């Protein structure tokens, strides 16, 4: 049965970029209003008595006005209730929260094919220092005694191979069809004009054309567009670029070891 996906988000209110209240703090205030006791309120929301008072004091400092007040019987002994400011804060927060949830619901309904859109957002939100970030699916797995060879089909039918330990494959939950990220640092990519006469142990040999050159003081960045439309970035010395006569449109082969490919999956 296909599951529907909806947008969800957290709501925080604050002043001058300082977060003042979120759902937990508002729930604490609501329980104080309902029980008349900060002890029972703390227990209801799952925090300690001390944490409850620390939370109330923090909100007071940020709001500039008391949100709770203690009845006769001592600062910690008598009943506790919300002030007018406290009640107003709870009402305002819950009103905004309702509008926030309606907005998210409306937004999720208005996005066509939300399931694929959500997956795209997850891919684009990944952060890594690796210049080359590929997304694909596991096409084949060759098991070994210690290491496994993982073949990954990228968009456009480009393919790369990674060598990882069998333990890593198990911990990542990889199997044929699994979605996976493949990361390759640009400094690990070697460019060649033609590898037909080269006998190399390099597992990944991706053919393409130079689509962009960005020279630097010593090294330059070379972007290679593969047949399937994916791009590979390589860092090459300026001397090497000159010796190879690299230019936009030059046919090249991007080479990198299968052991240089780092795999990742969505948590």
Q: pLDDT at position 115, please?
A: 57
Distance CA 36, CA 21 (A): 20
Long-range contacts of 75-81 (CB under 8 A, 24+ apart): 79/36, 79/37, 80/32, 80/36, 80/37, 80/38, 80/41, 81/32, 81/33, 81/36
Higher confidence at residue 237 or residue 1? 237
Higher confidence at residue 161 or residue 136? 161
DSSP H helices, 159-210, are: 166-172
Q: What is the pLDDT of residues 198-220, one digit of tens each?
A: 778 888 999 999 998 988 899 99
Q: How confident is the model at residue 73 (pLDDT cuts 50, 70, 90)?
A: low
Distance CA 265, CA 178 (A): 9
pLDDT of 86 above 80: yes
Q: What is the pLDDT of residues 238-260, one digit of tens each?
A: 999 999 999 999 999 999 999 99
Q: pLDDT at position 50, please?
A: 84
Q: pLDDT at position 227, please?
A: 85
Higher confidence at residue 71 or residue 37? 37
> Are 135 and 235 spatial neighbours (Cβ–Cβ below 8 Å)?
no
Q: pLDDT at position 31, please?
A: 93
pLDDT of 261 above 50: yes
pLDDT of 40 above 80: yes
CB neighbourhood size of 26 (10 A): 21
Q: What is the mean pLDDT of the chain?
A: 81
> Are 208 and 227 spatial neighbours (Cβ–Cβ below 8 Å)?
yes
Q: What is the pLDDT of residues 119-143, one digit of tens each?
A: 555 554 555 557 788 888 999 999 9
Q: Give me the domains of the chain, ranges plus CATH numbers.
A: 13-110 (1.10.10.10), 132-264 (2.40.50.100)
């Amino acid at each position: 049965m296909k599951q529907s996906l909806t947008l969800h988000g957290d709501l925080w209110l604050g002043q001058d970029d300082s977060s003042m209240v979120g759902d937990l703090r508002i729930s604490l205030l609501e329980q104080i209003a309902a029980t008349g006791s900060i002890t029972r309120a703390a227990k209801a929301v799952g925090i300690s008595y001390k944490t409850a008072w620390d939370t109330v004091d923090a909100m007071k400092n940020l709001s500039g006005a008391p949100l709770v007040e203690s009845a006769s019987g001592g600062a910690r002994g008598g009943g506790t209730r919300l002030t007018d400011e406290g009640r107003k804060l709870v009402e305002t927060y819950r009103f905004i929260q309702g509008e926030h949830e309606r907005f998210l619901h409306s937004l999720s309904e208005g996005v066509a094919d939300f399931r694929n859109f959500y997956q795209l957002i997850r891919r684009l939100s990944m952060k890594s220092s690796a210049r080359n970030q590929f997304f694909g699916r596991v096409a084949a797995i060759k098991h070994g005694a210690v290491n496994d060879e993982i073949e990954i089909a990228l968009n456009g039918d480009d393919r790369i191979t990674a060598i990882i330990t069998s333990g890593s494959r198990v911990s990542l939950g990889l199997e044929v069809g699994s979605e996976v990220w493949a990361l390759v640092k640009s400094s690990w990519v070697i460019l060649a004009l033609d590898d037909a006469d080269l006998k190399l142990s390099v597992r990944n040999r991706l053919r393409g054309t130079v689509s962009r050159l960005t020279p630097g003081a010593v090294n330059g960045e070379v972007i290679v567009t593969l047949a399937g439309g994916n791009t590979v970035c390589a860092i090459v010395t300026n001397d090497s670029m000159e010796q190879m006569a690299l230019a936009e449109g030059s046919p090249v082969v991007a080479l990198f070891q299968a052991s240089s490919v780092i795999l990742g999956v969505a948590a």
